[in-house]
Amino acid sequence: MSKIPHILIIYTGGTIGMMKDYKTNVLRSFDFKHIYNSIPELNHLDCSLETISFEQPIDSSNINPSHWDSIATTIQSHYHKADGFVVLHGSDTMSYTASAISFMIENLDKPIIFTGSQLPIGDLRTDAKENMITAIEIAAAQKNGKPRIAEVCIYFEYKLYRANRTTKISAAQFQAFDSPNYPILAESGVELKFHEHTLLPLKSSKELIFRKILPQNVLLIKLFPGITEAVLHHMFQMPELKGVILETYGSGNAPTEQWFLEILRNTLKKGIPIVDITQCFAGSVVLGKYETSLELLEMGLIDGKDITTEAAVTKLMYLFSIPEIGGRIKDLFETSLRGEIGNT
């Protein structure tokens, strides 16, 4: 590593990269080549900066696996030059993208910090400057010549989270994200405080591997009282269906009606895995804890444990994108690959 950390900022799109033209009230893309002029506070950071912007900024609602690949490819091509990465991204799907990147890069030994903002960078009350400055500071942070962070994270509103543990909780508050089942990794106050016991260990001795996530026919279904056999039957009959993520009640509970269980059994017989995750904001699936989940356990549903919806979707797509995995989907999904699920 260089004596002064070199940080690559990748702007993909989103509110954080917009500035308001106060004559017309129209939002325009910010030119990150002039980042030091617009945010002079960056001159006080003990690091050098390089910026790359997507040719066409992407609204995060339009993000798809091809954009994840573009982000990962950019990181890969600059990996040996940069000491850390800050990815600027729209907040709406940031947890999906950041979770995906966490799976796509194996044996990561440098920080990749995602951040964004609720208000454009030029607004008087913007959260963009603080989020960006501190994200860069975290990406540049070192201890004994090694990075303090060696994983994919999201920094937002004074808190650093493990990316694949996050979910967006507010469209109106500056604290847009939370990590319901895992503690924060660091907190920005008068000082930047890292919680060492929560961090993933460095894996500098292992080979760095980048993989693609290919588009997959994955179905996400949220159960609700009154959902009908006709609706579910139609959804499970989707052509070329690869896998299903089922958001169940509480600790993994679902209806015990025979028509419902029969749909699940027929799907599993086709070799299509079904992941059971909780639709609760916090907590974990515990298959077999109640009678309403015992059948699901016995028929072989994948136990999603305490995984978020965003991590479940991207992890399943990631596993389907690796042909050599074959029939090991259940075992690998129930195993923590990047700290995305707990041990229980």
Which residues are marked as active site? 15
Sign of CA dihedral 279, 12, 87, 322: positive
The answer to whether the CB of 10 falls within 8 A of the CB of 35 is no
Rounded Cα distance between 110 and 200, Å, is 11
Q: Which residues, at least 6 apart from 53, have a Cβ–Cβ distance to it below 8 Å? A: 10, 11, 17, 29, 32
Give strand ranges (E) for the chain.
6-11, 18-21, 26-29, 48-53, 84-88, 105-106, 112-115, 142-143, 146-147, 152-156, 159-162, 167-168, 177-178, 186-188, 192-194, 209-210, 218-222, 243-248, 274-278, 302-303
Please state the separation of Cα 133 from the chain's center in Å: 21
On whether the CB atoms of residues 286 and 296 are closer than 8 A, the answer is no
**Cα dihedral 311, 312, 313, 319 sign:** positive
Q: DSSP state, 320?
A: H
In degrees rounded to 5, what are phi and psi of residue 170? -150, 140
Residue pair 162/116 in contact (Cβ under 8 Å)? The answer is: no
Across 36-151, the runs of DSSP E, i.e. the strands, are: 48-53, 84-88, 105-106, 112-115, 142-143, 146-147
Provide the 3-class DSSP secondary structure of residue 246. strand
Adjacent-strand bridge partners of 161? 154
